[in-house]
Structure 1
């Protein structure tokens, strides 16, 4: 496979640039390959240098990559973005995923009010996640911890 071009189309807070794939060598089925992908990971040194933020970001990026590589394939009845590759090394988690912008999606603003239908759809996805992971244990996935927003006191 040859990636003919890769260029930043835009950068989103906590996301890497979108990359573009144009040409595949010795591959007759280009339609099955993405033309645009989003590469997500902890690539912003300034963010990682923010006091009290580094550990949270490392945890978020590595856990998300592990989720998509280890857990997502077992989840049933959930709407998940297509992830072409997910990996973790040292203190970095990287996803090569579908370009959701090109697919017609937008990044939400957490200050926007959701409609009843949007909340219902979100709750349905959470229910599907809960049902699909019923019986999972710490022994199965020790990297899934009770920590959230830097708190890991065991009370969550």
Structure 2
């Protein structure tokens, strides 16, 4: 059964101490004696893990969670509305979701309690895990390929405009002491932002489908069995399928592994897309390769991401991977040439 997003006039918790037993109990529908914060993961929204002590006993202990994850997200509406219909990709069990005019919050099952693990601040993964993640994305994309988007008119694109806003201070941010060094042509903020704007405005429509939207390594996890899955669907929208694919593979592989294996990952993605009743594409198709290369613009956040939003360790590592991919694929030049 799908959970509904609750429109909240009340102030939602903004810091860990505001996630109280009373607040959590009101959302889960149980009387809670106490909650204990067991782990806190920094990030754009932050992820908090709590253990729960209930005020009463129940003969069916499995009917209520002993451990939960509370995550700040932009807007939980997309996940809660879309999740019940998704076929080929596994999703977290949602317990409650709410939003106010300032933020969104979702309460989910605690993956750590289920034996799942999360990437470290900086990690890279074997090709097999990346291939599995690519196949998950192919399943998602295949299901929604060619759907009537009017059915999803309630789902705005929450990605492009915020990214354009974040890059407004490009020239000053990329020159800050301690930031990863950019090649000379990427220091030109006006040129980069012009290419960014053109990229958002000129996606090839034949690759359009429903996206997760934010598939960097901070939004993946691994099950006890070793499967690669995705969380945080708050910026899902319709756009180019390669947005999801290249953002995922370029943040989870080292620069060297991405150079060695990205075509293998692309081939696996395209084959799985067709296997699951999506369209048949081949990387020998020039349109495929152009759109794939252009989609590395998705990584732009890491070149200007504030160290207050993600750790410096993660930002710098993913910025280095982004710079290498942009240079390897001549990203700016490819977009300008269209």
- Bin for the TM-score computed over the shorter chain: 0.7 to 0.9
Cα distance change on mapping 1:131 and 1:37 into 2, 3 Å: same
Could you say which residue in structure 2 is the equivalent of 1:47? none
Report the Cα distance in structure 2 between the residues aligned to 1:122 and 1:105, rounded to whole angstroms.
15
- Please point out which of 59, 69, 79 is paired with 1:38: 69
**Contact 2:32–2:54 (CA under 8 A) maintained in structure 1:** yes
Which runs of 5 or more structure 1 residues have no equivalent in the other structure?
Answer: 42-60
Report the Cα distance in structure 2 between the residues aligned to 1:28 and 1:131, rounded to whole angstroms.
43
**Contact 1:40–1:94 (CA under 8 A) maintained in structure 2:** yes
| Deviating more after overlay: 13-22 vs 112-121 | 13-22
Report the Cα distance in structure 2 between the residues aligned to 1:29 and 1:142, rounded to whole angstroms.
38
- Establish whether residue 21 from structure 1 lines up as the match of residue 33 from structure 2: no
Cα distance change on mapping 1:24 and 1:30 into 2, 3 Å: farther
- Establish whether residue 79 from structure 1 lines up as the match of residue 90 from structure 2: yes
Q: Which secondary structure state, in structure 1, belongs to the residue aligned with residue 112 of structure 2?
A: coil
Report the Cα distance in structure 1 between the residues aligned to 2:127 and 2:54, rounded to whole angstroms.
43
Report the Cα distance in structure 2 between the residues aligned to 1:38 and 1:146, rounded to whole angstroms.
24
Report the Cα distance in structure 2 between the residues aligned to 1:84 and 1:95, rounded to whole angstroms.
8
Query: Any residues of structure 2 matched to 1:1-150 within 5 Å, and which?
Result: 1-14=30-43, 15-23=46-54, 25=56, 27-41=58-72, 61-63=73-75, 65-109=76-120, 111-134=122-145, 135=147, 137=149, 140-145=152-157, 147-148=159-160, 150=163
**Contact 1:9–1:19 (CA under 8 A) maintained in structure 2:** yes
Q: Which secondary structure state, in structure 1, belongs to the residue aligned with residue 99 of structure 2?
A: strand
Report the Cα distance in structure 2 between the residues aligned to 1:96 and 1:120, rounded to whole angstroms.
29
Aligned length: 136
The offset of 1:29, in angstroms, is 2.0
- Coordinate RMSD, CA, aligned: 2.5
Which runs of 5 or more structure 2 residues have no equivalent in the other structure?
Answer: 1-29, 166-196, 204-338
Q: Which secondary structure state, in structure 2, belongs to the residue aligned with residue 22 of structure 1?
A: strand
The offset of 1:5, in angstroms, is 1.4
Report the Cα distance in structure 2 between the residues aligned to 1:24 and 1:137, rounded to whole angstroms.
46
Report the Cα distance in structure 2 between the residues aligned to 1:128 and 1:24, rounded to whole angstroms.
43
| Deviating more after overlay: 108-117 vs 82-91 | 108-117
The offset of 1:146, in angstroms, is 6.3
Could you say which residue in structure 2 is the equivalent of 1:45? none
**Contact 2:92–2:108 (CA under 8 A) maintained in structure 1:** yes
**Contact 1:38–1:98 (CA under 8 A) maintained in structure 2:** yes
Q: Which secondary structure state, in structure 2, belongs to the residue aligned with residue 128 of structure 1?
A: helix
